[in-house]
Amino acid sequence: MIQLENVCKEYSAGMPAVRNINLHIKEGEFVFIVGNSGVGKTTLFRLLLKEIEPTSGKIVIAGQELSKIKRRKLPDFRKNIGVVFQDFRLLKEYNVYENIAFAQRVVQMPARTIKREVPRALSMVGLADKYKSFPDQLSGGEQQRVAIARALINKPQILIADEPTGNLDPQNSWDIMQLLEEVNANNGTTIIVVTHNREIVDRMKKRVIHMDNGEIINDVDEGGYFHEA
């Protein structure tokens, strides 16, 4: 599903943000990527979305080598990847229904499909009764659920969540992670979560990839947040 071979990224000569990244994530896996700020997690995140290009190495996602994807084909490629951010990034002037529908209008889904899929997505995240609400009328946990519904509305093969619990209290954080676990189990969606939340990582016992100084230093199946000796 996702394969990185000897991937390096330098923003300035001789100062790699990530280096020697070799990584294989199988279809349907649930993976945490952890590490302190500034260790290369965000760079890896942007490389997977093809927002930036590697200085060297190869990235293959869903059978496509990213370096060979033409700019005009990027929207088609990105349909396969849903993204959830720490700050939700909802459109404040749109209600919940419109926020989720927007993701389908961008890819030119017909109106009948939008009318069918948006209520389905809202039911999946437990917000069927909030479709007329605006973001500022929702709690942080509810806003993140809307963001997840929007990320999943086009049925991507992969969901990447960048610090999805960073602005939430412990109970809402756990609720969001349980929701992602259900999406992974029920839909077979490959889930990648970038996080600092040690408690959740330790509790969920998923695959954990630990980064430091731009490199992968630990990769454990059913592990916890790596604690340095």
DSSP run (H or E) holding 103: helix 96-106
Q: Examine the domain organization and report whether 96 and 150 are in the same domain.
A: yes
Q: Give residue-wise pLDDT tens across range 87-112.
A: 999 999 999 999 999 999 988 899 99
What is the DSSP track for 150-165? HHHTT--SEEEEESTT
Q: Examine the domain organization and report whether 75 and 40 are in the same domain.
A: yes
Q: Examine the domain organization and report whether 39 and 138 are in the same domain.
A: no
How confident is the model over 155-171, as a mean pLDDT? 93
DSSP for residue 208: E
Which of 155, 173, 207 terminates a domain? The answer is 155
Distance of alpha carbon 227 from alpha carbon 215, whole angstroms: 16
Q: What is the largest CA-CA distance in the chain?
A: 56
Question: In the prediction, which pLDDT does 226 show?
Answer: 65
Structural domains of the chain, count? 2
Q: Examine the domain organization and report whether 5 and 66 are in the same domain.
A: yes
**What is the span of the domain harbouring residue 118?**
91-155
Mean pLDDT of the chain: 93
When pLDDT is cut at 50, 70 and 90, the band that residue 165 belongs to is very high
Q: Is the pLDDT of residue 214 over 80?
A: yes
Q: Examine the domain organization and report whether 64 and 2 are in the same domain.
A: yes
Q: Is the pLDDT of residue 229 over 50?
A: no
In-domain check, residue 7:
yes
Q: Examine the domain organization and report whether 25 and 14 are in the same domain.
A: yes
Question: In the prediction, which pLDDT does 152 show?
Answer: 95
In-domain check, residue 85:
no
Question: In the prediction, which pLDDT does 217 show?
Answer: 94
For residue 166, the domain's CATH number is 3.40.50.300
Q: What is the pTM of this model?
A: 0.92
Question: In the prediction, which pLDDT does 76 show?
Answer: 86
Q: Is the pLDDT of residue 1 over 80?
A: yes
Which of 155, 176, 208 terminates a domain? The answer is 155
Of the chain, the percentage scoring pLDDT greater than 70 comes to: 98
Question: In the prediction, which pLDDT does 86 show?
Answer: 87
How confident is the model over 144-158, as a mean pLDDT? 95
Distance of alpha carbon 124 from alpha carbon 130, whole angstroms: 13
Question: In the prediction, which pLDDT does 227 show?
Answer: 52
DSSP for residue 228: P
Question: In the prediction, which pLDDT does 107 show?
Answer: 85
Q: What angle do CA 155, 161, 167 make, to 5 degrees?
A: 130
Q: Give residue-wise pLDDT tens across range 23-73.
A: 999 999 999 999 988 899 999 999 999 999 999 999 999 999 999 999 888
Q: E-assigned strands of the chain?
A: 2-12, 15-25, 30-34, 56-61, 64-65, 81-85, 158-162, 190-195, 207-212, 215-220
Least confident of 7-16, 45-54, 207-216: 7-16
Question: In the prediction, which pLDDT does 215 show?
Answer: 96
In-domain check, residue 191:
yes
Residue linked to tokens 């700050």: 87
Q: Is the pLDDT of residue 224 over 90?
A: no
Q: Residue 51: helix, strand or coil by DSSP?
A: coil
Retrieve residue 182's tokens. Answer: 């259900």
